Every structure is written in structure tokens, then in C-alpha cells.
Amino acid sequence: MVAGTAAPYLLALRLDGRRVLVAGGGAVATRRVPGLLDAGADVLVVSPEISASLHDLVQAGRIRWESRESAPGDCAGAWLVCACTDDPAVNAAVAQEAEAARIWSVRADDAAASAAWTPASGQAGDVRFGVVSGDPLRSAGIRDEVLDGLQAGRMRARRRRRPGGRVALVGGGPGDPGLITVRGRQLLAEADVVVADRLAPRSLLDELAPDVELVDAAKIPRGRAMAQEQINSVLVDRAQRGLFVVRLKGGDPFVFGRGGEEILACLEAGIPVTVVPGVTSAIAVPAAAGIPLTHRGITQEFRVVSAHIPPGDERSTVDWSELGASQATLVLLMALENLEPITRTLLRYGRDSRTPVSVIVDGTLPTQHIITTELATVADEVSAAGLRPPAIVVIGEVVNVGAQIAELSRKAPRQAQSVVVPPSPGPAGVVPTCEGQ
């Protein structure tokens, strides 16, 4: 705290509908105004000029702006005053007027002379907190540590049990535990029960509290599988016991994740549901391998297909003839088992046999590896390499762009590399890659 002063009294202001005067329109005001708007404040900015961001808020009708210098009487009717100009004399005059009117004010330029301080604040889910130390850098550092702990689930933030249970459908991302969303990780740390898929980021389960019930809902291809009806039953049953249930899935809950079935089952049973989107592997895995799904001058579209049902099967809803005739990038999920009939069908309906193809196994994980070849031969090469799911198949000319990226990455200085491809392929043309090294 500032030497020679009493400790400040911490208080959270509820500014909804209350006027706040912001004197100044520069960088400090630009940082402060969004938080005031989040609190519902009626913001008036007084400044001859304002930043582009503040001007955008004026155009949107979210704040009011008077384009002039600060003047006596500006504080009238305000509940809070922020003196944010780049002129200490103006800030002092604004703060003195506020003090005389018994209105709390914050001086951005002089903490010792300020009647109130703005804490270094953070928000994790519905938890908002602030840190005040008298040293802005130290306060921000402490804030960042606490925020990181809450977001990563290292700080236990399980709330007092609410009456009635609830369910959260959480997308865990493509596999790397660092690619789950901040909100998803927060809810995982609060869970009483976690129902986890095989492709969910399993290493995060080690961070759960000892009393959290873990339900293994893995669906292994041609192996053990928990029926969807049984999963739905578990979600409803645990929530009806008053527990908070997190359904942790790989990718995104609503992209081939049966999230729609699960939310319907919960809502039909009167269970409230929160949906937390995830980073779908259909986009993230090619990106981690350096393959853009669209590229200017090559393609303006991509199609994502669940290929666990082969072409010609009466259960399939995919128009393979249209995909064969299209030049769009194709992203196939769950395709390894049916790769031979898929490629045969695409060739029959017009795809060039030389169309480049990449098969990415264990995308975003340390074991990620790739086969890059052509449409005519990819099924045989995948079979010869003995590749197993999970895998993403990318078909289209963008694969060649990925090859260019990989080649330039090999030549770049180590510290400048974003996608690292070893200099020589492994067995059967398999090329390991790592992201972010």
C-alpha cells in the first residue's frame, strides 16, 4: 500500500444505470470504459478527442461523448468519476470537484492523490476478483497468477452445492489438454461427476478432486462402448441427485458428438444444461499439421463429413457424387475403415486421382504423425502403415500448401519455426510433426 496511508476499504460497486464521468479519451480511458460498460454504467466521456475504439462505442450508442475540454460542473449527477486525461492539472481539478461534491473519483496519473483506486481485476466464469497493492505492476502480476490458477483448475473453485443438479456439455478440443477452452476447464474443476469420452483430453482427469466420480463413456471402434442411451441415463440420474455433471467430449459437443441427443434427454427430464463449445478436430488437427482448409486462389469452401458409414450404405445421408464433382476441401472424420470405398467413389464421380491427401493421426498430441500422398493410393498406404484412429483425412489442393509450409519450416531457423517437420520421413512414409516447437 502507499506509505503513510490507511489500508483501503475494498468494495464492489454496482453501477447498473448509474452515471460515470470519464474525463479523457486516450489509452487509459479506452482500457477503463469497457469494464464500466460491463457493469452497466451510463458512461459520459468528456474529451476534445477520443480513440478509435471509444468512437466505435459512441457510434454504437453505448457511450455518450462531449467533444470539449473538461469544465466545472462536469461531475454533477455522477456516481463515480475517472480522471484519465494526460494533463495532471486537469486530473487534479476534476478530482477536486468530485471531492467537493462527495463523489468518489479515481486519478489515473497519481495513486497517492486518488480518493479511490481501480484494482487489477480478473474474471473466471462467474467469479470476479480484484487485487490492490499500491503497486500496479505487482497487483497485475498477482491478478494474473490467481486468474491462471482458476482457469487452469489448479485453484479449487467448487461452489457451494446449489439446490437441484445441472449438466454441462463441455467440448474438450482436439486432444492436446492445452486446447480446451478456459470456460471448459473452469467447469471441469467444479464438477461433482465427470462423464468422459475416449477422445476427451484424458490428462485433465488427473487434476480432478479425489471425491469426483469419473464415468468412462469411451466408445472404442470395434471394441467396448457405452451405449448412448446409458450415457443419457447417467447424466440425468446424477443431476437428479443434485450433482453438477460435466459431460467431457473430444472436439465440439455438437460436431459429430451426439450433444444434441444428450441435451434433449436432459431437458426432457427437466435438467438445466450449459453448453461449452470446443475446438473441433476437423479444423484444429489440419491447422496443427500446417494445412489450411481454405486458401486464396485455391478453394473458398470446405466440407466436413462423418465417414463411419461407407458410400452406398442405405444409412448414409452423404451425397458422395456431389463431393466427387466438387473442388472443395474435404475433411473426413472416422474414415480409416472405409477409406478404400470412399476414395473409389470420389474417383468415380470426378475427383482427380492425383488429388493430394493427408492423413493426420493423433492430431495435436506428441504422437501426431502424417501420411501425405494422392487420392488413388492413399487407402493402400494407410493400410500398409497400419494406421489406427483417431485420424483426420484432408483431401484437396490445400494439402500442397501444407507441404510448402512444412518445407519452409524445415529451412527456417529453429526459433522461428511454428510447424516442425523432421528432415526425413519415418517408416512407410509416415512423417511425425510437432506443433509450437
Catalytic residue numbers, as ranges: 197, 219
142: which 3 cell numbers?
A: 498477482
Q: How far is Cα 169 from Cα 150, in angstroms, rounded to an integer?
A: 19
Contacts of 51 (CB under 8 A, 6+ apart): 25, 26, 27, 29, 30
Q: How far is Cα 256 from Cα 395, in angstroms, rounded to an integer?
A: 19
- Counted residue by residue, the chain has a size of 437
Contacts of 55 (CB under 8 A, 6+ apart): 65
242: which 3 cell numbers?
A: 443434485
Concatenating the DSSP letter of every residue in 240-271 gives HTT-EEEEEESB-TTSSS-HHHHHHHHHHTT-
3-class secondary structure per residue, 112-160 = CCCCECCCEEEEECCEEEEECCCCHHHHHHHHHHHHHHHHHCCCCCCCC
CB atoms within 10 A of CB 186: 22
- Tell me the one-letter amino acid at 367: T
Under DSSP, the state recorded for 205 is G
Q: How far is Cα 71 from Cα 65, in angstroms, rounded to an integer?
A: 14
Longest dimension (CA), the chain: 84
Q: How far is Cα 188 from Cα 315, in angstroms, rounded to an integer?
A: 36
Query: Residue 136, preceding bond cis, omega within 30 degrees?
Result: no
Q: Contact 399/358 with Cβ under 8 angstroms?
A: yes
- Tell me the one-letter amino acid at 285: V
Please give the helix or strand (H or E) that residue 359 lies within, else none.
Answer: strand 356-361
Please give the helix or strand (H or E) that residue 97 lies within, else none.
Answer: helix 88-100
